[in-house]
Structure 1
Amino acid sequence: MRTLGIIGAGRLGRVLAALAVAAGYRVVVARSGDPAPIARAIAAIGAEAVTVSDLMAVSDAVVLALPLGRYRTLPAEKMRGTLVIDAMNYWWGADGDRPDLDDPRTSTSELVQRHLAGARVVKGLGHMGYHDMEDEARPAGAPGRKAIAIAGDAAADLDAVSRLIDDLGFDPVIAGPLASGIMLEPGADAFGADVGAEELREILAGFDTSRRGLVVARARRAASS
């Protein structure tokens, strides 16, 4: 992975871009529409502002850092075969009242995967606060290094995203298949966690008995009965 594309030029997208540039990646950033309004700010962190089409043409992997409610605007056909890292989360304030994005029977990354049917979606880079990522990146093996969890269905894709996370300055932790991404969403104990790998694994292991885990289990039992 040499070129990282980031769709979304908000705070999270810019923090990820800066971390990736510092790690030696070529980084291209796109927003919906003309990239000109963000070109200067993106250039200041060493990345390049481009259109979504141009981003797809050059990126080895793409991070989704835009409001989740806009996931259906993503060009599914152009993203076919692409490794996609879903850092999006449902926020009522940004997305409006969207029961389809707040259904405990499925993870939001599974919704994204259904839309991007030909892409390879991995949930990640969205459960730690962007301010923590900005401040706490550390070299591998450094004391106090924090961890970021990921979820996906293909071992090779999890390996690739794990290497990226390590390069960005964090210890990767695999939560499980893509459906396990629900453990990294708002409402789950791992969401907002700013902890090391061992503690993050403990949080994930306790999901089933957590408040959010019980809600998810109850909803899924009801759906299958």
Structure 2
Amino acid sequence: MKLGIIGTGAVGTTLARALSAAGHDVQVANSRGPETIDADALDFGAHAVSAREAVRDKEVVILSVPFARVPDVAGLFASVPDDTVVIDTSNYFPHLGGPIDAVDDGRVESVWVSEQLGRPVAKAWNAALAGTLRTKGVPEGTPGRIALPVAADSDEARRVAMRLVEESGFDAHDAGVLADSWRQQPMTPAYCTELSLAELAPALAAADRSRAPRDRDRQMERFMTLGAAPTLDETVALNRSLHL
């Protein structure tokens, strides 16, 4: 497939590598121009382009920018055809990008993203840490393979996003419509806890919508009190400990 990726942070770079290695025609862009894109993102055949080129004539566009920056890139999607699948990977952390009233008042994160872009989106890859995406993807059928939830209102968009999740090294779980994607937002039981496919559905079902923002803010305060940055496995363990 012809894929565009907007954003070259840890997640965008990892997806550029994984999906180009899987055989897709990947173009990647950031806000600073193609000449600033790290060669690491291009190791497996992805091409650095401008942001407008990255959304032109694509079957899928993966939006991997900070949540609060989504309105800044909305103009890129004005001419993107309706049948292009747009996948949102972002998460809302108000201590990083500032508070957003609509989300604080209960708007589901990716529903808000869809409203900013003026088009439907799918939600995928948001429920894994960047380190998990970079180091723990394995071939289909590998015992203990980590599963990730995928939500979208369109059955076709969900199917496409699930296929790409599988090709990036993770089992994909059909998490239903976008309005239910709050179940994979920070810090729900399914968020960045590295669960198997069998474990993921019960975790999504156990999510408490009123509790998640409190857990998110409490966990961020907890991380800030640590003397040193936790390792990937320590972070996963801390996230799991919220739900014991």
Give TM-score scaled by structure 2 length: 0.80
Name 1:79's counterpart in structure 2.
Answer: 80
- Would you identify which runs of 4 or more consecutive aligned residues in structure 1 move more than 4 Å? none
Secondary structure of the equivalent of 2:138? Answer: coil
Q: How far off its partner does 1:57 sit?
A: 1.3
Q: How far off its partner does 1:9 sit?
A: 0.4
Q: How far off its partner does 1:137 sit?
A: 1.1
| Structure with the largest fraction of strand | 1
Name 2:39's counterpart in structure 1.
Answer: 40
Whether the aligned pair in 2 keeps the contact of 1:107 and 1:182 (CA below 8 Å) is: yes
Instruction: State the alpha-carbon separation in 1 of the partners of residues 81 and 104 from structure 2.
Output: 26
Name 2:240's counterpart in structure 1.
Answer: none
Q: How far off its partner does 1:147 sit?
A: 0.5
Name 1:59's counterpart in structure 2.
Answer: 58
Q: How far off its partner does 1:208 sit?
A: 4.1
1:142-195 CA distance string (max 9 Å, x none): 111110101111111111111111111111111121011111111222111201
Instruction: State the alpha-carbon separation in 2 of the partners of residues 162 and 202 from structure 1.
Output: 19
Q: Does 1:153 align with 2:159?
A: no
Instruction: State the alpha-carbon separation in 2 of the partners of residues 80 and 25 from structure 1.
Output: 20
Q: How far off its partner does 1:3 sit?
A: 1.7
Instruction: State the alpha-carbon separation in 1 of the partners of residues 210 and 157 from structure 2.
Output: 28
RMSD: 2.1
Whether the aligned pair in 2 keeps the contact of 1:79 and 1:116 (CA below 8 Å) is: no
Secondary structure of the equivalent of 1:203? Answer: helix
Q: How far off its partner does 1:127 sit?
A: 0.9
Secondary structure of the equivalent of 1:73? Answer: helix
Letter of the 1:140 counterpart? E
Whether the aligned pair in 2 keeps the contact of 1:83 and 1:121 (CA below 8 Å) is: yes
Instruction: State the alpha-carbon separation in 1 of the partners of residues 124 and 177 from structure 2.
Output: 12
Secondary structure of the equivalent of 2:148? Answer: strand
Q: How many residues align?
A: 212
Letter of the 1:144 counterpart? G
Letter of the 1:49 counterpart? A
Instruction: State the alpha-carbon separation in 2 of the partners of residues 214 and 37 from structure 1.
Output: 37
Instruction: State the alpha-carbon separation in 1 of the partners of residues 103 and 204 from structure 2.
Output: 21
Name 1:135's counterpart in structure 2.
Answer: 135
Letter of the 2:100 counterpart? R
- Flag structure 1 segments of 5+ consecutive residues without an equivalent: 216-225
Q: How far off its partner does 1:38 sit?
A: 1.0
Whether the aligned pair in 2 keeps the contact of 1:61 and 1:83 (CA below 8 Å) is: yes
Whether the aligned pair in 1 keeps the contact of 2:183 and 2:205 (CA below 8 Å) is: no
Q: Does 1:109 align with 2:117?
A: no
Give TM-score scaled by structure 1 length: 0.86
Instruction: State the alpha-carbon separation in 1 of the partners of residues 159 and 60 from structure 2.
Output: 13
Q: Does 1:182 align with 2:182?
A: yes
